[in-house]
Amino acid sequence: MKEKIKMMLIFAAVCICTASFAQRIVIPANPKLTEKTAKAELEKYLSQCVESLIVGNDKISAIHVGDTDEALFEGLERKGMKEDSFLIRKIGKNIIINGGGTRGVIYGVYDFLENVCGVRFLTQKVTYIPKKRVVKVASVDKKFEFYFPMRDIFIAGKTQLPLDGGRFAMSRGMSRDGERPITARFGGGFDYGPPYFCHTYDRYIPARKYLKTHPHYFSLIDGKRYGGLERGQFCMTNPELRKFFLSLILKNIKETTEKAKREGRAIPLIYDISSNDNGKFCRCETCKPIAEAENNSGLMLQFSNYLAREVKKVYPDVKLQVFAYTACLEPPKTIIPEDNIIIRVCNTGSDLITGAPSNKDFIKTVNAWKKISKELYVWDYAKTFGDTDGLPFPSEFGYPEVFKFYVENGFKGQFWELESPAYSDMWELKYYLLSKYIADPFRKDFDFLLDDFCEKYYGAAGKYIAAVRRTLDKSSKVMRPVLGWSPNIGDFEFINYKVMDQCQKLFAKAREAAGADQELLFRINKASMSLDRLLSYEAHRRYIAEFAESTGKPRSDFPYDIPAIRKRFLETWHKSLAYFGYITPANKTKILARFANIDMMPIDFPPAKEFANVPHIDVTPGEMPLVLGREMSIVKDPESPIGVALVVNADHNRKSYKFPMTFGVYDKGGRKGITARKFEKGKFVPGKYQWIKVDNVKLPDSACYLWLTNSWKIQIPLNNLAPLDRNKRITAHIHVKFEGDLYYGDGKPSRIYIDRVIITN
């Protein structure tokens, strides 16, 4: 029988040898859907870049994909191969590509295209395809198993990139694509069971439905019940709540399993039961003692263990996922998670440039969790958030050490947030490099990967883009900034004038190298967008001052055309939003308001004469983190010494903006107010700017901010206060005026104007 099969294979090889190389792809007579996909992808790219393939001294006759007769004859069938693993094997003049599970064969094809044929899947929209030629290689043989079964780079929803069925995520070796489905055509994703992959308490038992009728299900704090995704948790010791939640989970697993079988999909074996996204854990008479003895994580884990034990009785292969996150980050003292519980540790406190290996507190947390947990996943971050989201930080250089850390500590799941491809710093490069290390955390070729991507994505300009990133990395290693989730503008001072000047000159060379190629120019301008924004808008006054100080020249000799750079930034920003499909009717107003008034900001301001001889920090409207839109905007104001002001439309929320008006300082780390100053109407002259003070403030060691007005919607970080001494008490001087009906009963629009805030010791 084996000899008969061999003769049939020889006959098949003779029949296809006259076809073009791209047509010499063999799949089984009754192929699976993923084998069809693998063949189509292989054929698509081979037809464009490979005339013929010579491996060693043999000219390849055919490529067998999946469980072909050749693969079965050689004992290389899918059955028995580890999930997602793949192999590429040359046998005679044939190549066999096969893989385990539903996705393995597709991973094998993409690996072959990249590492043998020279194709690069750079972004969802850009694939580098070499010119068609004869490809000669010494060997193609490879056997590969992914270290992390769960591999996911999160791009929120379908508004940030068009849905592609999971094609790009699969080409990058991912097993999930965030909220975006990997369809059956590409083997399906490493899917969680419904309702979602995180913060599912309120999805199972929504407070809007049950809080009024079953208040005892929810957190009791100071005599009041709290529930909801952002407002409360469960009373986790309540027996009735436990039984109800268990019944919902078991019903969910049963229905999901039956549906997957009907549709021929892989059955989900992980269900999330993580707490709501807030720290309001129950403090009733039974929950409070447990939380005090075992931390909030102990309270959560005791509840989760009950569910896990009961689920295991019915579904022994199912695992439940819980979060070690914020209020539950610190492990319990004695409670140990059941074997069918996955602990997803959230890295919320690390420096986003250097990552987990540099965070002693996170290392301590990981060490504690891994001692008691059978399986660890991580939720990590490759982007910043808040008002400075999109500014430059060279985090990609830390990836080799970060993934070494996760391997050494036994993590098996990787989930990274990297939303906002339209404006996150170097999104394309970071996604590419991040996916490389998630797929293979043991690789040692970071510099090659960086240079290879830049060369193939930016063309002749690539070497200059790579040099920019290395310049930023070098400065960060010298200056050692620490960037948290929501860094303030002062955290980017490691990009001083000298560094900015070097980077801008490199970008000028990059644009020159691109010539008239408009697509390349767009990619280059998008790469420079974060630095352009910093130079022309967020920190232009600092750069002008540093230029004058370092060169001894007048500020007016500043060599960069700020209006022109602002124009380039805005044009690129709008084009990028459109390119990535980011603007929707729902978010258009909010998104476009962010930089709507950028041109109003003067290039340079006269110094505040009242503080001419006093060391101080001068915060002007463009540097005030705030929510622009219907309530706030930046306007020209001839009565302001600097010509512009932040204006608050107090009529939008008269209750929040009425007198007395309060300003103060809040300790973010300690989650408490430090000080507040209340000002009555009699303090102010109608329609005139005046200085008011929040004075004699002792700042905590943790992050804190100055909040302005009763609404708290204007928050100025007080973390990086150079040249001031943060260990000494500070005073915030706010230049403000009030006008309109809410304040003076004159029937006119009610407005608050703030044009600058001066911080002194």
- pLDDT 10s digits, 148-205: 999 999 987 655 677 899 999 999 999 999 888 899 999 999 989 999 999 999 999 9
**For residue 408, is it within any domain?**
no
Is-contact 255 210, C-beta < 8 A? Answer: no
Predicted local confidence at residue 594, as pLDDT: 74
- pLDDT 10s digits, 272-289: 999 999 999 999 999 999
**For residue 456, is it within any domain?**
no
Same domain, 613 and 756: yes
Same domain, 748 and 610: yes
User: What is the dihedral sign for C-alpha 114, 120, 124, 126?
Assistant: negative
Q: Where are the beta strands (DSSP E) in 66-166?
A: 86-91, 94-99, 120-121, 127-128, 133-137, 142-144, 150-154
**Which residues are bridge partners to 97 per DSSP?**
65, 88
- pLDDT 10s digits, 97-149: 999 999 999 999 999 999 999 999 999 999 999 999 999 999 999 999 999 99
Of 308, 340, 372, the one marking the end of a domain is 340
Same domain, 118 and 205: no
Neighbours of 607 (CB within 10 A): 13
Alpha helices in 56-166 (DSSP H): 69-73, 104-115
pTM for the complete prediction?
A: 0.89
Cα separations (Å) of 437 from 100, 115, 401? 21, 16, 10
- Type of residue at 212: K
Same domain, 226 and 291: yes
- The mean pLDDT value for 376-402 works out to 94
Angle between helices 446-458 and 518-533 (to 10 degrees): 120
Omega prior to 686 cis, within 30 of 0: no
Same domain, 77 and 206: no
- pLDDT 10s digits, 545-597: 899 999 999 999 999 999 999 999 999 999 999 888 777 766 666 777 778 77
**For residue 257, is it within any domain?**
yes
Question: How is 116-128 classified by DSSP, letter by letter?
Answer: TT--EE-SSS-EE
Residue 650 pLDDT level (bands cut at 50, 70, 90): very high
Is-contact 261 254, C-beta < 8 A? Answer: no
Same domain, 208 and 316: yes
Total number of domains in the chain: 3
Q: Most confidently modeled of 77-91, 251-265, 377-391? A: 77-91
**For residue 54, is it within any domain?**
yes
Phi, psi of 727 (to 5 degrees): -80, -10
pLDDT at 225 over 70: yes
Predicted local confidence at residue 16, as pLDDT: 45
Same domain, 125 and 28: yes
**For residue 173, is it within any domain?**
no
What's 102's domain CATH number?
3.30.379
DSSP letter at 45?
H
- pLDDT 10s digits, 601-645: 888 877 888 888 888 888 888 777 655 556 888 889 999 999 999
Predicted local confidence at residue 18, as pLDDT: 46
Same domain, 254 and 323: yes
- Type of residue at 297: S
pLDDT at 5 over 70: no
Q: Please state, rounded to an integer, the average pLDDT across all residues of the chain.
A: 92
Same domain, 104 and 197: no
- The mean pLDDT value for 396-417 works out to 98
- Type of residue at 372: I
Same domain, 610 and 747: yes
Q: How many angstroms separate the CA atoms of 588 and 597, rounded? A: 16
Of 89, 119, 144, the one marking the end of a domain is 144
pLDDT at 472 over 70: yes
Minimum mean pLDDT among 252-256, 336-340, 473-477, 487-491: which range? 487-491
- The mean pLDDT value for 706-713 works out to 90
Task: Give the alpha-carbon dihedral of 467, 470, 475, 481, to 10 degrees.
Answer: 130
Same domain, 127 and 224: no
Same domain, 139 and 198: no
**For residue 677, is it within any domain?**
yes
Q: How many angstroms separate the CA atoms of 96 and 91, rounded? A: 8
| Range(s) of the domain holding residue 219 | 191-340
Of 85, 109, 144, the one marking the end of a domain is 144
